[in-house]
Chain A
Amino acid sequence: MSEVNGSNGASLNGHSLLSLVPKTEVDRTAKDYKTDQEVRWCPGCGDYAVLAAVQGFMPTLGLAKENVVFVSGIGCSSRFPYYMNTYGMHSIHGRAPAIATGLASSRPDLSVWVVTGDGDALSIGGNHLIHALRRNVNLKILLFNNRIYGLTKGQYSPTSEVGKITKSTPMGSLDQPFNPISLALGAEASFVARTIDSDRKHLTSVLQAAAEHPGSALVEIYQNCNIFNDNAFEPLKDRSTKAEAIIPLEAGERIRFGADGGKGVVRDAETGELRVVEVTPENESDVLVHDPHAASPVTAWALSRIADPDTLHQTPIGVFRDVKRPVYDTLMREQLDLAVDKKGPGDLGSLLTGSDTWTVA
């Protein structure tokens, strides 16, 4: 991986972060990560698939189960911690990244996961999300994007397409949606990926990469709300359309998609922008090779803009960006260590006395 802003060698020792979390002494299975609580999402909800994938994936990390924490905000997906037999907190709307920041930055021995939704992370909690990402706090943020408010029964969300007819927008929504990937990249995120609830294999591979990443990882999961926004991602799931709709991003591979890889992403020589072309023997070598480790986020951001926000036609899926840069929690801990080195461990008696005293005898 390339190193960005790599001034501090110790802070960049990324793989050591996961190694700070104690390993499990007994082999765990998905069953160990399930609680006795009845899962109360609507039948057919995409959240079930994600929950199963996460429960299946966590044992593969080999971490001590008691050192894993799930923190969520409010929304359908935020019930997630109640179904994970780890430590967990179901907090308040939008604040999970802030709460998790305090936990992660003071407990390097924990693997801290945030579960949030498009309303929770991008609307009421937008501020906390972007600041957690820019600080590069060691959090793994799973953003369930169903492009609708489900728990409040169907209002448009900050990722809903313009003109969305909902209970609160009978004549159509007016506001331009966020593109969560673009937003995260703009917020200096060091790891940004997108995956789909129904593609368990891809979802698991992205979770793996996120878990190993030192610092903040944002994983956008396209998740179907079959009650209030059914089939929102159908073009990406339907066998007959998905080959044309999904642009798979794989590190070191040319970005090609479509039936038989007939389409590719190239950089326009004049404008510098990315565009989709029919691949021919002549232009085949112009097709971009995906490099999530590129120091500059420019190409990752350009990739995030390829999809049309209304139709999601031609949507890149995979890891957009995965770079190492200093992790907030580590830097904070290093300052404490440095202060102890320089001044010695704090001595309360001498602190209280100070340097300017007088004695009444």
Chain B
Amino acid sequence: MTRQVKQVKQLDRVIIRFAGDSGDGMQLTGDRFTSETASFGNDLSTLPNFPAEIRAPAGTLPGVSSFQLHFADHDILTPGDAPHVLVAMNPAALKANIPDLPKGAEIIVNTDEFGKRALSKVGYDANPLEDGSLQAYNIHPVPLTTLTLEALADSGLARRDAERAKNMFALGLLSWMYHRPTEATEGFLRQKFAKKPEIAEANVTAFKAGWNFGETTEDFAVSYEVAPARLPLGTYRNISGNLALAYGLIAAGERSGLELFLGSYPITPASDVLHELSKHKNFRVRTFQAEDEIAGIGAALGAAFGGKLGVTTTSGPGVALKSETIGLAVSLELPLLVVDIQRGGPSTGLPTKTEQADLLQAMYGRNGEAPVPIVAPATPSDCFDAAIEAARIALAYRTPVFLLSDGYLANGSEPWRIPTVESLPDLRVEFATAPNHVNEDGTESFWPYKRDPETLARPWAVPGTPGLEHRIGGIEKQDGTGNISYDPANHDFMVRTRQAKIDGIEVPDLEVDDPDGAARTLVIGWGSTYGPITAAVRRVRSAGGEVAQAHLRHLNPFPANLGEVLARYDRVLVPEMNLGQLAHLLRAKYLVDAQSFTQVRGLPFKAEQLAAAIEEVSANV
């Protein structure tokens, strides 16, 4: 493609939001722009946002689907607060997204969709492109549908099919505007539509036409360059949270030498982990799509009894159904991973939106005293390491472990420095192979609940091991032998021992980021709020403020130094996408006056909003 002389501006970062109807292919468009951006070498962070309905009524506000991408020449932490550029494929997309745009933002609109009916469907009395109401913005009216149809006039495709390529026209235009490499997208389209070559060519043609349109039309006088980011040395790929989590599970299987068994029931936003693991049967990964959530975890627990690495994946409502089996796993003391990709609740809640309101469910949501370790990833790529860490704890301590991701991490993506296999933890386990107890008469026997004195873990003797036949169950068992016991003292002992085992799990100390050691306010979070909190802390510091930051990966048990860290600061601020669940735990355990800053809008925090909250708390010290 030849290039006329047009002005090129250098930017250090850009936030783009693609928005359209659920059927307009905005997620695909965003994914492709992300891939182009990743291969160009920018740092990036993404935020897909879509309705739970597969196809909400066309052209309506509930049907709007969007994809936001933040990319930069430096390391960034969030998908960005406010888009610099909005691509609006119809009036609904414009109306739904305009409140998020700062004045002066660029808006590329598909004018073909701004007919009277489409406008009135979302409550526009007059065409906002003509009535002056958008004067504060930089509008680029583009007849995307018409231009796409013209570009495909010779394709022989029916109008309906040709029209569908308009998202690729838009992608081509944006790719021109931001100097994105295009070869990979062309290759991607040809592969995606390999069985329908005419559709593949139509999409490639539309994509190129969009690029050329930017190049030639006078409406786009400027294009932009964002230089590659200077990230730590290494080989990178772009990765979403759910993909990283699935890879982490496979890696845990490989590093433990145990075959992976996933028992799962489809649920948003966790199903992609089931889909991904189903692709990797050559790792001898078994995926079992169960009849319900309960069977999913039941099968995983059964596999764990047989010596496999048992995993179940779900979201909040599924955890509620699995609770009884998690309690059984606590009682059986078998390794099991329970992956909860949290979404908005309660009940069905907001299936496609993010929230972190299952912390207390994971912590306490079972009958009886049933402690379960909890690990939470901080970023999409961190889902890989967090899954391995959860497996480490499960295998070493013979316990179910919660892995608490969320919808934002699951679907968001970022560059990931690919680790070498050798650098991953060694998770090998030893099954019991011989009797571990000498009876009074001198004979030997196997006691399934005779514990390791260090970890308090019980031996894992798998069926097929001669001489170690034993029975385990959900009824209280006698210490050591595992036989049924209703003895009061024994029950008291076993409840306390199970608790002590979880409390004694070794987890790394909490690291505190307090550059000058002079801060009097600590911001502490967990899970996916890491990006927004860190971005907010940077803002506060660059404005001269002093604030310390810490982020919890282990929610149960807490790091051993947590109490001491909290005590160091006059103010402790806990931002969470719930109504203060971590703050509640901190206050209860450490008697610290932790202050909550909460939001449950189904969306991640904005850095600006958090920075203001931090400044307000700091000011009152």
| A interface residues (Cβ-Cβ under 8 A, vs B) | 22, 35, 37, 64-67, 69, 71, 81-82, 84-92, 95, 98-107, 109-110, 127-128, 131, 332, 335-336, 338-340, 342-346, 348-349, 351-354, 356-361
| A345, B282: Cβ atoms closer than 8 Å | yes
State how many angstroms separate the Cβ of A259 from the closest Cβ of chain B.
Answer: 46
Chain A residue nearest to B184 in the complex (CB): A356
- Of A107, A127, A338, A356, which one neighbours B38 at CB under 8 angstroms? A356
B-chain residues with CB within 8 Å of residue A343 when the two chains form the complex: 282
| A110, B302: Cβ atoms closer than 8 Å | no
State how many angstroms separate the Cβ of A176 from the closest Cβ of chain B.
Answer: 23
State how many angstroms separate the Cβ of A62 from the closest Cβ of chain B.
Answer: 15
| A351, B305: Cβ atoms closer than 8 Å | no
| B472, A66: Cβ atoms closer than 8 Å | no
- Of B236, B251, B285, B466, which one neighbours A360 at CB under 8 angstroms? B236
Q: Bound state CA distance, A301 and B392, in angstroms?
A: 50
B-chain residues with CB within 8 Å of residue A88 when the two chains form the complex: 469-473
| A361, B263: Cβ atoms closer than 8 Å | no
Chain B residue nearest to A335 in the complex (CB): B281
Q: Bound state CA distance, A24 and B399, in angstroms?
A: 32
A-chain residues with CB within 8 Å of residue B328 when the two chains form the complex: 91-92
Given A107-B463, A340-B282, A351-B250; A89-B305 close (CB under 8 Å)? yes
Q: Bound state CA distance, A104 and B295, in angstroms?
A: 14
| B234, A360: Cβ atoms closer than 8 Å | yes
A-chain residues with CB within 8 Å of residue B38 when the two chains form the complex: 356, 358
| B283, A346: Cβ atoms closer than 8 Å | yes
Given A66-B469, A101-B288, A128-B295; A354-B308 close (CB under 8 Å)? no
Answer whether residue B290 sits at the interface, using C-beta atoms and an 8 A cutoff: yes
Q: Bound state CA distance, A339 and B254, in angstroms?
A: 17
State how many angstroms separate the Cβ of A350 from the closest Cβ of chain B.
Answer: 10
- Of A66, A98, A99, A335, which one neighbours B464 at CB under 8 angstroms? A66
Chain B residue nearest to A100 in the complex (CB): B302
Q: Bound state CA distance, A201 and B303, in angstroms?
A: 34
| B469, A65: Cβ atoms closer than 8 Å | yes
State how many angstroms separate the Cβ of A242 from the closest Cβ of chain B.
Answer: 36
CB-CB contacts of B294-326 with A at 8 A, as 1s and 0s?
110011111111111010000000000000110
Q: Bound state CA distance, A25 and B281, in angstroms?
A: 34
State how many angstroms separate the Cβ of A146 from the closest Cβ of chain B.
Answer: 21
State how many angstroms separate the Cβ of B448 from the closest Cβ of chain A.
Answer: 10
Lowest 9 A-B CB distances belong to which pairs? A90-B473, A102-B302, A102-B299, A346-B283, A98-B298, A339-B281, A98-B295, A99-B302, A103-B302
State how many angstroms separate the Cβ of B129 from the closest Cβ of chain A.
Answer: 38
- Do most interface residues of chain B lie in helix, strand or loop, or is the interface mixed? mixed
B-chain residues with CB within 8 Å of residue A107 when the two chains form the complex: 306-307, 463-464
Answer whether residue B475 sits at the interface, using C-beta atoms and an 8 A cutoff: yes
B-chain residues with CB within 8 Å of residue A338 when the two chains form the complex: 281
A-chain residues with CB within 8 Å of residue B178 when the two chains form the complex: none
| A349, B421: Cβ atoms closer than 8 Å | yes
| A102, B306: Cβ atoms closer than 8 Å | yes
- Of A35, A85, A336, A344, which one neighbours B284 at CB under 8 angstroms? A336
| B290, A98: Cβ atoms closer than 8 Å | yes
| A81, B465: Cβ atoms closer than 8 Å | no
| A128, B466: Cβ atoms closer than 8 Å | no
Q: Bound state CA distance, A90 and B331, in angstroms?
A: 11
- Of A81, A85, A127, A349, which one neighbours B292 at CB under 8 angstroms? A127
Of A106, A339, A356, the most chain B CB neighbours within 10 A belong to: A106
| B236, A95: Cβ atoms closer than 8 Å | no
Of B300, B420, B469, the most chain A CB neighbours within 10 A belong to: B469
List B residues 227-258 near A (Cβ within 8 Å).
230-238, 247, 250-251, 254
| A37, B259: Cβ atoms closer than 8 Å | no
Chain B residue nearest to A79 in the complex (CB): B484
| B39, A356: Cβ atoms closer than 8 Å | yes
Answer whether residue B332 sits at the interface, using C-beta atoms and an 8 A cutoff: yes
B-chain residues with CB within 8 Å of residue A98 when the two chains form the complex: 290-291, 294-295, 298-299, 302
| B interface residues (Cβ-Cβ under 8 A, vs A) | 35, 38-41, 184, 230-238, 247, 250-251, 254, 259, 261, 263, 280-286, 288, 290-292, 294-295, 298-308, 310, 324-325, 327-328, 332, 418-421, 463-475, 483-484
21 contacts between A and B (CB under 8 A): A89-B471, A91-B473, A95-B294, A98-B290, A98-B302, A101-B298, A102-B263, A102-B301, A106-B261, A107-B463, A127-B292, A128-B291, A335-B281, A338-B281, A346-B280, A346-B282, A348-B251, A349-B420, A352-B419, A353-B235, A358-B39
Of A84, A349, A357, the most chain B CB neighbours within 10 A belong to: A357
State how many angstroms separate the Cβ of A93 from the closest Cβ of chain B.
Answer: 8
State how many angstroms separate the Cβ of A349 from the closest Cβ of chain B.
Answer: 5
B-chain residues with CB within 8 Å of residue A346 when the two chains form the complex: 250, 254, 280, 282-285
Q: Bound state CA distance, A348 and B325, in angstroms?
A: 31
| A352, B251: Cβ atoms closer than 8 Å | yes
B-chain residues with CB within 8 Å of residue A90 when the two chains form the complex: 471-475
B-chain residues with CB within 8 Å of residue A91 when the two chains form the complex: 298, 328, 473-474
B-chain residues with CB within 8 Å of residue A69 when the two chains form the complex: 463
Q: Bound state CA distance, A346 and B247, in angstroms?
A: 12
| A357, B236: Cβ atoms closer than 8 Å | yes
Given A81-B471, A91-B473, A110-B306; A102-B282 close (CB under 8 Å)? no
| B247, A101: Cβ atoms closer than 8 Å | no
Q: Known pairs A92-B327, A358-B235; list 7 more (Cβ under 8 Å).
A: A87-B469, A92-B324, A101-B298, A110-B463, A352-B247, A359-B234, A360-B235
Q: Bound state CA distance, A161 and B40, in angstroms?
A: 72
| B484, A357: Cβ atoms closer than 8 Å | no
Q: Bound state CA distance, A91 and B329, in angstroms?
A: 9
Q: Bound state CA distance, A351 and B463, in angstroms?
A: 32
A-chain residues with CB within 8 Å of residue B475 when the two chains form the complex: 90
Chain A residue nearest to B415 in the complex (CB): A358
Chain B residue nearest to A101 in the complex (CB): B299
Q: Bound state CA distance, A112 and B286, in angstroms?
A: 18
Of A98, A336, A354, the most chain B CB neighbours within 10 A belong to: A98
Q: Bound state CA distance, A154 and B607, in angstroms?
A: 61
B-chain residues with CB within 8 Å of residue A65 when the two chains form the complex: 466, 469
